[in-house]
Structure 1
Amino acid sequence: MKTRVILVGVGGATCSGKTTLAKHLKRIIPNSVIIHQDDFAPPQELVPIHPKYGVQDWDWPDGAIDWKRMIASLKDVKRTGRIADDHYSHDHLNEQKDVPIPEEVRARWTQTFEELAERTCEKREEEQIIWGLVDGFLLYWHPEVLEQLDIRFFLRVPERVLKQRRHERHGYHTAEGSLWRDPPNYWEQIVYPAYIEAHKHLFEGGDVENGRVTREDVTIINALEESMGNIVDHCCQALVKYIDVESSKVQ
């Protein structure tokens, strides 16, 4: 059976709900896998020290991700339709707040994607679609990562809400399993400035809070204005529409 891989970007700031959304989509969509950008962070001893504040900087775009390894992995998933056996994810170590969606939404879209998979297989000579759900806080910074993604969602949440959510978390686990806790003023001095730097090119005037998006291929979701059920609903509609458009091109 032939395999077609579609990579779906789920980007946004830390604590914007991107991983929660990706996991809901994975439960709904058959033949889907999640690729967490955090899994491509460098070893803790290689995380750079901030030149001004003297603490490890896990957020600045240049040093927060092993870009070479991530890009190679995305290309490999697109080629093979699977995550390499030696890939290790530490996402399960992090606390995950339960944000449920209505069962009706989950069941309706599960049925829709199952039927879509059957139709696609029939129309395109035994072709199977694999969905790669790529979630991360720096997804749209590196041009080669952007190039690999077929569909791009961005969850936008006001800074005051992001800050509160971040402060409510107990920390983040590293690949080595140790727990990272934010030093004092880490949000104000490092996290949010790095977020603005990595995403200002996406918005008019560099206004990540209120600016209009400058790229037509990035769909902005104002996540605080929607329930998670509605967000899942909107994303699933967009994914089905993408398949319909691609199928019409082949015909």
Structure 2
Amino acid sequence: METDTTVVILGVGQTLTQCDYRRLERVLHYFIKHRELPHDFQSSEHRRSNYDCSLSQEELAYWRQQFHERDPSQRVYSAKYPPAKKVVILIVEGFLIYYDAAVRNLFDMRLFLRVSRATMLRRRTERQNYVLEDGEVWEDPPFYFDEIVWPAYVEAHGRMFERADVEHGALVQPAINDTPDGGPVKDMILLEAEGYSKEEVNRRACKKIFTFLYRPPP
């Protein structure tokens, strides 16, 4: 059965209790039903101190063309929805998005970009501050990364990797389809990003997404 539009949700993954997973889950369900984000949804990403796009206009134009000007005979195939001529893509990016089982089960594709602890710390340090939803400006206090951010990251992802090695371990394959919070994730695609430029990471990620979207039907 073919429909006019299908929805594909891509997951690209603070203490755990600070993450409002139920709110994220509601937003995702709304998007699946209405093909758009809730009208009262607002992003604060553009208010970060280091908010910019480091990709060149040529790079952006190339991938826009790849995704928008495909062969019209191609169809987009989702694991959960019928094939369709039109696709609406929602990319959900986050530091701990794969911890919550109810949230991650809503993703059609799960892409995990892995870098080292040192790289995470450097990027966190370079992000001087960001604006919260209530308008307050947040700046990390001393030792926040060491005592809060990194332990939360390890807690959220340790069971997803062999020997709980989030920096070098191989992915653990779940024994069952539905695993608990923080457990191994089915069909996770691990993309090593350490040592690659942003352009290279973008190209590799886009190729994975493109292959997923336009694969032959099962």
Which TM-score band applies after superposition, normalised by the shorter structure? 0.7 to 0.9
Q: Is the 8 A contact 2:132 2:138 kept in 1?
A: yes
AA matched with 1:110: R
Aligned mate of 2:36, from 58, 75, 82: 82
Q: How many residues align?
A: 200
Give the TM-score normalised by the residue count of structure 2: 0.81
Q: Is the 8 A contact 2:11 2:91 kept in 1?
A: yes
Calculate percent identity across the aligned residue pairs. Answer: 30
Aligned to 2:197: 227
Shift of 1:243: 2.2
Shift of 1:104: 4.6
Distance 2:48 2:213 in 1: 33
* 3-state DSSP of counterpart to 1:182: coil
Aligned to 1:69: 23
CA-atom RMSD, angstroms? 2.5
Distance 2:124 2:213 in 1: 36
Aligned mate of 1:206, from 161, 164, 174: 164
Aligned to 2:63: 109
Distance 1:117 1:193 in 2: 46
Q: Is the 8 A contact 2:111 2:191 kept in 1?
A: yes
Aligned to 1:9: 11
Shift of 1:229: 1.7
Q: Is the 8 A contact 1:90 1:177 kept in 2?
A: no
Structure 1 residues 3 and 205: CA distance shift in structure 2, 3 A: same
Structure 1 residues 233 and 78: CA distance shift in structure 2, 3 A: same
By relative contact order (CA 8 Å, sep 6+), the higher-ranking structure is 1
Q: Is the 8 A contact 2:128 2:139 kept in 1?
A: yes
Give the TM-score normalised by the residue count of structure 1: 0.71
AA matched with 1:248: P
Q: Which structure is higher in helix share?
A: 1
Q: Is the 8 A contact 2:75 2:214 kept in 1?
A: no
Distance 1:202 1:138 in 2: 12
Distance 2:143 2:84 in 1: 55
Give per-residue Cα distances to partners, 1:216-244, cap 9 Å, x unaligned. 62222222222222222112222221123
Aligned to 1:175: 133
Distance 1:169 1:108 in 2: 28
